[in-house]
Amino acid sequence: MILNSLIFGGITGIWWALVWFVLPVDLRQLSVPSLTLLHVAPPVLLMGAWSAWKSYRAKRAAALAQAAIDAQAAENAARISAARDTHEAELRRRRAYVDCRGVWVSSTTPPPGWFEGQPAPCAFLEHPAEETLGVGRETALRQSLHEVLSLAIGSSPAIAWLPIYLLPGNQMAGAAQLDLARGAWQAAIDDNALDHPPGQADCKFLPGIDGVADRVVALFENDPTLPALLLLGPDSPLADTEADDPYDDDAPPAPSASGKPGHAVVALLFSRPGLTTSYRDDDAVVTGDDQDPYQPYWERQGGEAAGLGWARVPPPLQPALLDLAPLATLHQGRTLQKQGGVGHGNGLSRQIQNLLEGALINASLRDQPFDSAEADAPAPVEIGWLAHNSGSVDTGGSRLAALATALHYFGSELNPIDQATNVVVEYGDIGAARGPLLLATALLRAAQLAQPTVAAEFDGDDFVGVGVMRPAIAGATP
């Protein structure tokens, strides 16, 4: 207010000085109203113009400032939206899963007490230990692979057309392992007397270095045409073990953290979630010379369309694979590999707790909102079974205690002794079959109990992995 008064006074003084001393105006010739108007009007107009310009400049500065604020807010909103989209995309990737439709196991251990032939067509076969001891891996695995593949292909002939992914063992050459699997596959084809079977097995090693579950899910994510696959985990340390000499006076070897030498072959059938076929029994699959090259694609029969997304599986066999209903869902796990060894005691408990939390998020059993303010209090997690390879109490007590602590942290009341499968104690050292057997046990128990289950795998002192399986639910989405 004072500044405006000073400016107005200055303008008035300057104008009056101009009127009196500079401008060629004879003031004596002007009337009083004209003289008054001459002295007052110009300063008022100039002051009004000054005030209007100042107001315009202030509004323009305010508009520019508001525009800058709006632009910054829009940029922040776009950045937050992009980060949210990235978070949701990563969460969808982590929550990708596959369906398990079959489990077949052959080992020198009797079938577990909780398995009584259900769910079909799963099976546990007992292979006599005396026929395995010291006969060599190739000889021991050939028969078990034959039995397992015969059961799998017998449950659905479409399995013969699926790719076989093999988990390699360390004690046999890679080519020999593939030849062994292909030979067992051919024998299984002959046993089931399939009409027009494929010429050879599509057998290869399972790619990747992550956990078995992550590698299986990645296969389906990377190949949209893959309908299903058969995972094989065969190994037999027992077959390379010599029988004890009753006259040997040497002290028995110290117990291994992996258990006594064992023998196991595990086959798991996985399929893409929501797998369907458009093939019907009355569809004619037209191939070769019988196909009309001038027929528009929109007029082709369903038999041809049924081949989309089924790789080399013939359309007439697709319904037979779908007849094997999903048993459970395999979700991606979380792993920790640390040189120098993972933690011990409370440190190991915290590490497993973090891994289990990530696995629960992957299995959609725990939320991971973009903004922590949006998070609700998590509900307790009901876990029905634990499959692990912690080992005996002497060698794996701290591991089992860490698992129990982590489960209790998330509200699970599971008893890690009575509601668990310790593959080291029950099956011994089964080498490359250990990971698939842990998954097979957790998947079967999830299907039987209709509850989530946990599989925990230790590999030496440097690796630990945790995964969560869920029972198959119609209409479930990742």
Average pLDDT rounded to a whole number, residues 331-350: 88
> What single-letter DSSP state applies at residue 460?
T
Q: Which residues have a Cβ under 8 Å from the Cβ of 382 and sit 6 or more positions away? A: 412, 451, 452
CA distance 125 to 105: 6
Lowest mean pLDDT among 172-181, 293-302, 316-325: 293-302
The answer, yes or no, to whether residue 243 has pLDDT greater than 90, is: no
Q: Where are the beta strands (DSSP E) in 55-202?
A: 97-107, 123-126, 164-166
Are 327 and 443 in contact by the 8 Å Cβ rule? The answer is: yes
Give the pLDDT confidence score for residue 92 in this predicted structure.
92
CA 77 remoteness from chain centre = 29
Percent of the chain with pLDDT over 70: 89
> What single-letter DSSP state applies at residue 429?
B
Average pLDDT rounded to a whole number, residues 333-342: 86
Split at pLDDT 50, 70, 90, the class of 34 is confident
The answer, yes or no, to whether residue 390 has pLDDT greater than 50, is: yes
pLDDT in tens, 456-468: 999 888 899 999 9
Give the pLDDT confidence score for residue 181 in this predicted structure.
96
Give the pLDDT confidence score for residue 293 in this predicted structure.
54
Are 467 and 332 in contact by the 8 Å Cβ rule? The answer is: yes
The 3-state secondary structure of 276-328, one letter per residue:
CCCCCCCCCCCCHHHCCCCCCHHHCCHHHHCCCCCCCCCHHHHHHHHCCCCCE
Give the pLDDT confidence score for residue 298 in this predicted structure.
37
What kind and span of H or E run contains 388?
strand 385-388
Contacts 24+ apart (CB under 8 A), 277-285: 277/306, 277/310, 277/315, 277/318, 277/319, 277/322, 278/302, 278/305, 278/306, 279/303, 279/306, 279/315, 279/316, 279/318, 279/319, 283/315, 285/314, 285/315, 285/316
C-alpha distance from residue 188 to each of 184, 236, 432, 448 (Å):
6, 20, 22, 28
> What single-letter DSSP state applies at residue 332?
-
Give the pLDDT confidence score for residue 15 in this predicted structure.
78
Split at pLDDT 50, 70, 90, the class of 264 is very high
Give the pLDDT confidence score for residue 288 in this predicted structure.
41
Give the pLDDT confidence score for residue 303 in this predicted structure.
43
Cα dihedral sign for 42, 47, 52, 57?
A: positive
C-alpha distance from residue 228 to each of 147, 191, 332 (Å):
21, 22, 17
Average pLDDT rounded to a whole number, residues 313-319: 92
Are 180 and 142 in contact by the 8 Å Cβ rule? The answer is: yes
- The number of beta carbons lying within 10 Å of the beta carbon of residue 370 is 15
Identify the CA nearest to 404 among candidates 422, 386, 391.
Answer: 386
pLDDT in tens, 49-101: 878 888 888 899 999 999 999 999 999 999 999 999 999 999 999 999 999 99
Give the pLDDT confidence score for residue 460 in this predicted structure.
84
Give the pLDDT confidence score for residue 41 in this predicted structure.
78
What is the domain class of 95-241+257-471 according to CATH? Answer: alpha beta
Split at pLDDT 50, 70, 90, the class of 300 is very low
Are 104 and 151 in contact by the 8 Å Cβ rule? The answer is: yes
**Average pLDDT of the chain?**
86
Split at pLDDT 50, 70, 90, the class of 474 is low
Average pLDDT rounded to a whole number, residues 289-315: 57
Give the pLDDT confidence score for residue 290 in this predicted structure.
47
Determine how β-strand 420-422 pairs with β-strand 453-459.
Answer: unpaired
92 vs 25, residue with greater confidence: 92
What kind and span of H or E run contains 229?
strand 228-235
Q: Give domain limits for the chain.
A: 2-90, 95-241+257-471
Q: And the tokens for 354?
A: 């973090």
Split at pLDDT 50, 70, 90, the class of 336 is very high
CA distance 34 to 298: 94
Split at pLDDT 50, 70, 90, the class of 182 is very high
The answer, yes or no, to whether residue 449 has pLDDT greater than 90, is: yes
Give the pLDDT confidence score for residue 32 in this predicted structure.
72
CA 282 remoteness from chain centre = 38
Determine how β-strand 164-166 pairs with β-strand 203-205.
Answer: parallel
Average pLDDT rounded to a whole number, residues 198-202: 90
Task: Record the pTM.
Answer: 0.81
pLDDT in tens, 406-435: 999 999 999 999 999 999 999 999 999 999
Split at pLDDT 50, 70, 90, the class of 255 is low
Split at pLDDT 50, 70, 90, the class of 305 is very low
CA distance 49 to 218: 73
58 vs 45, residue with greater confidence: 58
Average pLDDT rounded to a whole number, residues 357-379: 84
Average pLDDT rounded to a whole number, residues 356-364: 95
CA distance 466 to 456: 4
Give the pLDDT confidence score for residue 302 in this predicted structure.
41
CA distance 152 to 87: 40
